[in-house]
A and B are shown apart, each in its own frame.
Chain A
């Protein structure tokens, strides 16, 4: 959903840029962006209701409704166990839509945060202020697509990190902004972690 909103915001921005004559007031732009950001996406339930609304009741639909009711009954009895879904589905390597990191959910005040590295390496590990910059402590897994990824629980706030390639080479995340903190002549990357 965040990707869709980002795309929508990008389109709004492009439209405004492409039409200088429109020259909207900054407040109007803020309201449009905020409305896009805040607009709730119809839930699965709402969409299902919309789909059924106004439709003729056929035997097939009645059977479907009965099946849904039965399934709900099982769920409420605790018979059906929902399998844990991955935080983010894998996408092809090199896809521009692949996020550098994404906030997934919150538990015990920590936010599950995904990191992605798309480059050639024998091994990749995540180093940052959250793991005392210790290489090898947080290794990334290599997907079949060749992309490396790991999801770690982080406390909300601003974190500086980098990738340790093959145990020796420290590289910043090319998809994330630089930290601006170069005590050792080499900037890290920044991720802002917060619960949405």
Chain B
């Protein structure tokens, strides 16, 4: 009799443990969010993402960012919920099998204002067996610097089609970032840097011929 009474309790405990395991693994049970309502909402959002196979680390980071910045509970809930939607959208855009890092980069691109079809185009323009994190991150950075998304996409996909490496793509983003910080107009910075990379891709020998000779050219 006693055994019969204990069975449902044991089953409930096992089920609770199983359902809590992913959260414990993610460390969400120790999310330092004082507001119980917010903490529960964030944990539910993370559990939902987990069940969908979405990366949960970005959600934890977004919640923690809110805690560190002393945001209100409502702000944290909204930010985490919005990010969860972007992660799901990004995963669909980067199908068939994007990595967690690619999904997170895609979500960041969407947040920065990169239109969804452009995220898809970047994936299509990059070799399927290579991580598309860097092209997506550079696209995000270019748009964040104030370059129209259509212009940034045009330049990036041109470089990709010519076989630009991840390092060359990253150097483009970094150089444009520095140029804009130095006062150059974003459009002009992209134009100059993209042409520089393109000239290397068009003619590998051109780089060598442009190497300084140590002599001052005639004026």
Spell out A's residues near B (CB within 8 Å): 6, 10, 13, 26-27, 29-35, 37-40, 127, 129, 132-135, 155-158, 164, 168, 170, 177, 179-181, 183-186, 190, 192, 194-196
B149 is an interface residue with CB less than 8 A from chain A: no
Counting residue pairs across A and B whose Cβ atoms lie within 8 Å, the total is 129
Distance (whole angstroms) from the CB of B181 to the closest CB of chain A: 6
Name the A residues within 8 Å of B188 (CB-CB).
26
The distance in angstroms between the C-alpha atoms of A26 and B193, with both chains bound, is 10
The distance in angstroms between the C-alpha atoms of A34 and B200, with both chains bound, is 9
B124 is an interface residue with CB less than 8 A from chain A: no
Name the A residues within 8 Å of B173 (CB-CB).
158, 192
Nearest 3 A-B pairs (CB), nearest first? Answer: A194-B170, A34-B196, A158-B137
* Contacts known (A129-B58, A133-B68, A177-B177); A158 close to B138, Cβ less than 8 A: yes
The distance in angstroms between the C-alpha atoms of A127 and B62, with both chains bound, is 12
The distance in angstroms between the C-alpha atoms of A183 and B86, with both chains bound, is 13
Residue of A nearest to B109 (CB): A158
Q: Is the interface of B mostly helix, strand, loop or mixed?
A: helix
Inter-subunit contact B79/A179 (CB<8 Å): no
Inter-subunit contact B57/A192 (CB<8 Å): no
Residue of B nearest to A25 (CB): B195
Inter-subunit contact B192/A33 (CB<8 Å): yes
Which residue of B79, B141, B196, B199 is within 8 Å of A192 (Cβ)? B141
Distance (whole angstroms) from the CB of A25 to the closest CB of chain B: 10
The distance in angstroms between the C-alpha atoms of A70 and B85, with both chains bound, is 65
Interface size class of B (residues with CB under 8 A): 35 or more
Name the A residues within 8 Å of B140 (CB-CB).
158
Inter-subunit contact B112/A192 (CB<8 Å): no
The distance in angstroms between the C-alpha atoms of A192 and B167, with both chains bound, is 11
Inter-subunit contact A34/B174 (CB<8 Å): no
The distance in angstroms between the C-alpha atoms of A133 and B170, with both chains bound, is 24
Residue of A nearest to B141 (CB): A158
Name the A residues within 8 Å of B212 (CB-CB).
35, 39
* Contacts known (A156-B134, A194-B134, A194-B170); A30 close to B111, Cβ less than 8 A: no
Name the B residues within 8 Å of A38 (CB-CB).
200, 207, 210-211
B105 is an interface residue with CB less than 8 A from chain A: yes
Which residue of B66, B105, B171, B182 is within 8 Å of A183 (Cβ)? B66
The distance in angstroms between the C-alpha atoms of A29 and B173, with both chains bound, is 18
Inter-subunit contact B211/A39 (CB<8 Å): yes
Which residue of A32, A170, A190 is within 8 Å of B141 (Cβ)? A190
Q: A157-B101, A183-B79, A186-B69 are in contact. List 15 more A-B contacts (CB 8 A).
A: A31-B196, A32-B210, A37-B175, A133-B61, A134-B68, A156-B170, A157-B134, A177-B180, A181-B112, A183-B65, A183-B82, A184-B71, A184-B75, A185-B69, A192-B170
